[in-house]
Amino acid sequence: QVQLVESGGGLVQPGGSLRLSCAASGINFVIYTMAWYRQAPGKQRELVASITSGHRKNYADSVKGRFTISRDNGQNTAYLQMNSLKPEDTAVYYCNAWVVGHDYWGQGTQVAVSS
């Protein structure tokens, strides 16, 4: 059974930081591209950042220079370090694991940025 379990969300003030984690089980983690998506109320889900099996990274323009995606293949875990958070970063953040023919999602973790 495949599971992606996100953690690390919460309420933070503007300018603050959070680190999201995505613990994966039931997949051969090392071959998957891992990604973080987010969905704000009333908006479509959007890609925030991704990291391939070869550690190639990609970021949405809105988070470049503020967010860092990483992965620990030994721990089957992906991370999203979020710095300099803004109110517009408020959303439910979802972890995604993808390889050709397989696409898995976590249940999401809420991030709220507010003073």
pLDDT of residue 92: 98
Q: List all residues 6 or more positions away from 78 whose beta carbon is below 8 Å from its beta carbon.
A: 21, 22, 24, 34, 36, 51, 69, 70, 71, 72, 95
How confident is the model over 27-32, as a mean pLDDT? 97
How confident is the model over 8-20, as a mean pLDDT? 98
Residue type at 115?
A: S
pLDDT of residue 43: 96
The token pair that represents 7 in the structure block: 């953690």
HSE-CB at 73 with a 13 A cutoff on CA atoms is 11
Q: What is the tens place of the pLDDT at every residue in 34-68?
A: 999 999 999 999 999 999 999 999 999 999 999 99
Q: Which of 110, 63, 114, 107 is nearest to 87 (CA)?
A: 114
pLDDT of residue 60: 98
Q: Report how far apart the first and last C-alpha atoms of the chain are (Å, whole number).
A: 40
**Mean confidence (pLDDT) of the chain:** 97
Q: List all residues 6 or more positions away from 3 whose beta carbon is below 8 Å from its beta carbon.
A: 23, 24, 25, 26
How confident is the model over 92-111, as a mean pLDDT? 97
pLDDT band at 77 (very low <50, low <70, confident <90, very high): very high
CA angle 11/55/71 to nearest 5° reads: 40
